[in-house]
Amino acid sequence: MELNSSNEVVRAYVNGPGMDQPIERLDFINGTPRNRQVFHADGLGSIAALTDANGEPVQTYTYAAFGGIRARTGTDLNRVTFTAREALGDSLGFFYYRNRVLDPNTGRFTSEDPLRFVDGANMYIYVGNNPLIFVDPTGEVELTTALGVVAICALVVSCVSDCNSRKEDGEDMERALEVGKPRRDSLDDFLNNPTDDALSEYQNADDKERDYLQNDLRDKAKNAVHDACGPTTLILQGTGGMGP
């Protein structure tokens, strides 16, 4: 709640179950709630917009990486913005993070980390210089946001996919070497003993390898189309729209 000099409630907040999760605020006039506004946060938890009781935008915000407000609409007083933390209300736009104050102009805290080197050698650094996926609601230690979890999961999936791709490439190479062995052997036989029979053996092995590679490429193309289109491929196959 926010109180005036007469100790009267001028504004009250409704918060979610987690830390720094404002849901709505109520403005009071003479002790009576007169105005209700709803907070809308982005993936980092920063307030992107406030709407009124009718769902109409009252204020919107866009931020620089470390919380400086690049653009805003609306003129209502609102101190809760970047990562849903409170602005100090001064001209510098500093943010209060419970144990420390963040300067969005430098991307640094204005005092040393009370936990000392828990976040690294620089005791003034904010979230390890990665404010796009981390937050520090207490001013003591960085935490991963939901957006950060998604980013990390995407990185893990990418690494696993790359490993699987490399494994498949290796398997393809081994299979190609195995399939090409009869052709290489028959070519060696022909070069050592250039007879008609040796030439015929080489040509047969060459034809078999060519047929295998063509069928292998066709199967891979069909699998790629199926993975991309899903059930659509099955429908086309069922109606004769795609070959065997």
pLDDT in tens, the chain (244 residues): 888 888 888 899 999 988 899 999 999 988 888 889 999 999 899 999 999 989 999 999 999 999 999 999 998 889 899 999 999 876 668 999 999 999 999 999 999 999 988 878 899 999 999 998 899 999 998 887 755 555 556 656 666 666 666 656 566 666 666 766 776 777 777 777 778 787 788 778 777 766 666 666 566 555 655 555 544 434 334 434 433 4
- Shared-domain flag, residues 78 and 169: no
Cα–Cα distances in angstroms (integers) from residue 159 to residues 18, 150, 152, 156, 166, in the given order:
32, 14, 11, 5, 11
- Shared-domain flag, residues 45 and 122: yes
Q: Structurally, how many domains does the chain consist of?
A: 2
* Structural domain that includes position 127: 2-144
- Domain final residue pick, 144, 173, 197: 144
- Shared-domain flag, residues 138 and 173: no
- Shared-domain flag, residues 201 and 121: no
- Shared-domain flag, residues 60 and 171: no
Distance CA 80, CA 87 (A): 6
Place of tokens 């729209």: 241
- Domain final residue pick, 91, 111, 144: 144
189 located within any domain: yes
- Shared-domain flag, residues 171 and 133: no
- Shared-domain flag, residues 97 and 30: yes
DSSP 66: T
Predicted TM-score (pTM) of this structure = 0.60
